[in-house]
Amino acid sequence: LKSQSVRVWLLMARFACRSVLRLLPVAVSSVALVQGPCKKFATHARCDDASEIAALRRRLSKLEDDNVALLDTVQALTGKLEQTTTIYRIVITGGPCAGKTTAMAELKERLENVGWRVFLVPEAATILFHHGARFADFSANGEAGIVSFQAHLAQLQMRIEDTMHEMAAASGDKSVLLIDRGVMDGKAYCPSLSSWALVLDRIGGTEAQVRDRRYDAVIHLVSAAVGAEEHYSLEQCGGGESSRFESLEEARVLDERTCQAWVGHEHLNIIDNCTNFTRKIQRAVNRVCKVLGEPVPGYRLRKFRLPHMSVDEVVARARGAGIQNCRVFLCDTTYVSPSSRVRMRCDPDHHGASYYMQEFVEISGKPRRQREQLITSQVYLQRMKEANANGYQTLHKQLVVFKYGGDVYEANIFKEMLILEVEAESLDSNIVIPPFLGEGALEVTNDSMYSTKRFAGIGTEPQVPSER
């Protein structure tokens, strides 16, 4: 079957499975009624006709067996399609007057030109506000009203995203969903962490699910109110209707709250106002292209070796410097082949795990990440079996993720050392090492001794360089 035919068949099979599962309890209860002492009829079988009862039981049993087999087939084919269909979810977020509308339009054109099917997912809040809804109707009821509004908003946002994802899957094309604000944006509008926890409870999710598992990358465009104040405006780009009302100071606060809401995501990219607007949009486009594996000159993951310290010490130092939002994770990296690896990242209590597949290509004799995508736990376990069969071992480390200045830093803590990582636009970009991490930082970006592949020890014992 061609992929399109398989997709149509899968949709029909899912519907058939659900229909059968709904009917089975009714049929089973009918059999029970037939067995009763009464002289009633059920499913057209008489109480005194044991042969018809036995025949009905056989038909039900076969129907159930066939349905289980069909479900197994659907699950197997769905797994194959997930591996062959490339669909990315990328959030475009930021503070007021940051350039989201312009960035999404530029991204759509650029990505379609290089062969991507682009789906623009609208912001749920804008849909509501432009069609009669008012936040004040809920906020007038205090925190409970805000929780109710944000829960409705999150549910609508997820429904729209999931529907667009289904559309992308049905197309059979390599696709990217450009999402105008994601679910985590709602956290910035909650008056307290407890109210956000209530929102998560209402939608039946966890922060790891709505932040890490739903999206492949997050692009945070910094508001013009931060560093480009002369360009801050309440008008929508292109003359469209705008729901923007924040003052400069309110916009600055909201921008920071929005960015902090996403701290902890594996690929949070902050695009500030250090360049003119045209260059800012181009930087955002380049970051998205990098996530998708499209060629982008210059962008590098910069690495710095620092004296070893524990997770608790890094967090304590960061908080002492006024950084309260430090996210701590456990991270396992396992090579499946010399050019691909899987990663698992979870909370310190081993909850909220997210799984990633990364593929690499050789450029000038050095591996460069070509593609990275979220995968399911089932796919991860299958890849781990392959890795074990090939003799590859797992590298364990702890991560402390925090925002300092205009960048997101990851402190990678191994048994005997600490490697600080930060995304940079070039090898020449000025990287500021947070002073609370101490002195003695040594850049090791191009030192193969500090590569993940060497740390993982392909086919050998993992090798982590000692302090020197």
DSSP 64-114: HHHHHHHHHHHHHHHHHHHHH--EEEEEEEESTTSSHHHHHHHHHHHHHHT
Residues 98-111 have pLDDT tens digits of 999 999 999 999 99
Angle between helices 142-171 and 193-203 (to 10 degrees): 50
Residues 225-250 have pLDDT tens digits of 999 999 998 775 544 545 557 889 99
Annotated domain spans of the chain: 3-82, 85-296, 302-456
Rounded Cα gap, residues 212 and 267, in angstroms: 9
- pLDDT confidence of residue 126: 92
- pLDDT confidence of residue 406: 87
- Token pair listed for 385: 């079996």
- As its CATH architecture, domain 302-456 has Beta Barrel (2.40)
Rounded Cα gap, residues 180 and 123, in angstroms: 5
- pLDDT confidence of residue 4: 54
- pLDDT confidence of residue 59: 75
Asked if pLDDT for residue 46 goes beyond 80, the answer is no
DSSP 22-66: HHHHHHHHHHHHHTSSS---BTTB-TT-HHHHHHHHHHHHHHHHH
Asked if pLDDT for residue 460 goes beyond 50, the answer is no
Confirm or reject CATH 3.40.50.300 for domain 85-296, answering yes or no: yes
Which stretch of 180-194, 239-253, 279-293, 415-429 has the lowest confidence by average pLDDT?
239-253
- pLDDT confidence of residue 368: 64
- pLDDT confidence of residue 303: 95
Contact indicator for 398, 255 with CB cutoff of 8 Å: no
The stretch 112-140 carries a mean pLDDT of 91
- pLDDT confidence of residue 462: 45
Residues 48-94 have pLDDT tens digits of 566 777 777 777 667 666 666 665 665 555 555 555 578 999 999 99
The stretch 129-157 carries a mean pLDDT of 92
pLDDT bucket at 468, cuts 50 / 70 / 90: very low
- pLDDT confidence of residue 280: 96
- pLDDT confidence of residue 54: 72
